[in-house]
Structure 1
């Protein structure tokens, strides 16, 4: 860690989002192409309904990073990361991984055994982030098709691959073989659900 980052982390606040962060989140995403933008109303709901499983990063009171995540209603052992955004001036600083690590240690995510996210093939920054996160966790990343460009987006959006990372650190002991069985089973059911 260099001195610049040490000073940065001293001034950085990580916390769960508040509804008042919704507009700033909308503006941060809009300034971060190629991320998909949502309405301000959607961002307000993210900051309210998914606050316990999301994280806002503030520097000198300004929103500079955000992770939207949730546990699917049918799978409390999975934390699905919907979107990661970091302001342009802080990209490459390690903020995204810092937010991920903070998030998996929160009470609302402590039962999650695995983290999942969807990534387009050309999003090198996201692949690098989540593969590095998996290495740091000593976890196994498993990639599978989630949504196909032609089949699900009528060709208007790139394929979305599902990346699953398990086991997450600091969870009750579960043998690696069981995590692999869980991943294989969820891949089979995901393929049936999404591609069948």
Structure 2
């Protein structure tokens, strides 16, 4: 860093970030994190609380000093139990740039591997270059393939939602 310039990103050490399954009490915080991204499709607060109860084993929360600062929500596909479908990934603005999102995805995949999960799916809108880079990096780090195919067109949604491409890792 140049003299006289201060970092705008807090210097949270990588080992200060802990990963765990979400708990019901985390639901409101996950909703707040998602809302503050100004990018994610925001679900109801009820949905996040319910997710923390019903899909805790296939989701993950990143914490710093016991406070959630990021999350990944996912579920196992009923017709493909070896696949975790990642619904949302979000990290607090003051924690971005520390590879927390990628580390959460790796931790989730590592946790689910003993249960036979060896594939990850997610949908990404074509203009979301940050998410495309995140998932491409995870595939590269795991030395595995990533594929993309069209999944949902704007006509599949009742509102002005963008198209969503399906990315598959593994």
Q: Tell me if TM exceeds 0.5.
A: yes
Pick the aligned partner of 2:150 from 137, 145, 160: 145
Moved more, 77-86 or 8-17: 8-17
Pick the aligned partner of 2:89 from 62, 84, 88: 84
Question: Alpha-carbon deviation of 1:10?
Answer: 2.6
Q: Say if 2:165 is the partner of 1:164.
A: no
Determine the structure 2 residue equivalent to 1:15.
Answer: 20
Pick the aligned partner of 1:94 from 91, 99, 102: 99
Q: Say if 2:138 is the partner of 1:123.
A: no
Q: Secondary structure at the match of 2:151?
A: strand
Q: Report the Cα distance in structure 2 between the residues aligned to 1:16 and 1:109, rounded to whole angstroms.
A: 16
Pick the aligned partner of 2:56 from 46, 51, 60: 51
Flag structure 2 segments of 5+ consecutive residues without an equivalent.
Answer: 1-8
Structure 1 pair 6–92 and aligned structure 2 pair: CA distance change class (3 A): closer
Residue pair 1:53, 1:69 contacting (<8 A) in 2 also: yes
Question: Alpha-carbon deviation of 1:138?
Answer: 1.2
Residue pair 2:109, 2:118 contacting (<8 A) in 1 also: no
The structure richer in strand per residue is 2
Give the TM-score normalised by the residue count of structure 2.
0.89
Moved more, 153-162 or 31-40: 153-162
Q: Say if 2:73 is the partner of 1:64.
A: no
Q: Report the Cα distance in structure 2 between the residues aligned to 1:45 and 1:108, rounded to whole angstroms.
A: 24
Question: Alpha-carbon deviation of 1:110?
Answer: 3.4
Question: Alpha-carbon deviation of 1:154?
Answer: 4.3
Determine the structure 2 residue equivalent to 1:27.
Answer: 32
Pick the aligned partner of 2:117 from 93, 112, 121: 112
Flag structure 1 segments of 5+ consecutive residues without an equivalent.
Answer: 167-196
Determine the structure 2 residue equivalent to 1:190.
Answer: none
Determine the structure 2 residue equivalent to 1:182.
Answer: none
Runs of 4+ in 1 over 6 A off after TM superposition: none
Q: Report the Cα distance in structure 2 between the residues aligned to 1:8 and 1:36, rounded to whole angstroms.
A: 30
Question: Alpha-carbon deviation of 1:60?
Answer: 1.4
**1:56-85 Cα distance to aligned partner (Å, 9 max, x none):** 011112211000011011210111110000
* Count of aligned residue pairs for this structure pair: 162
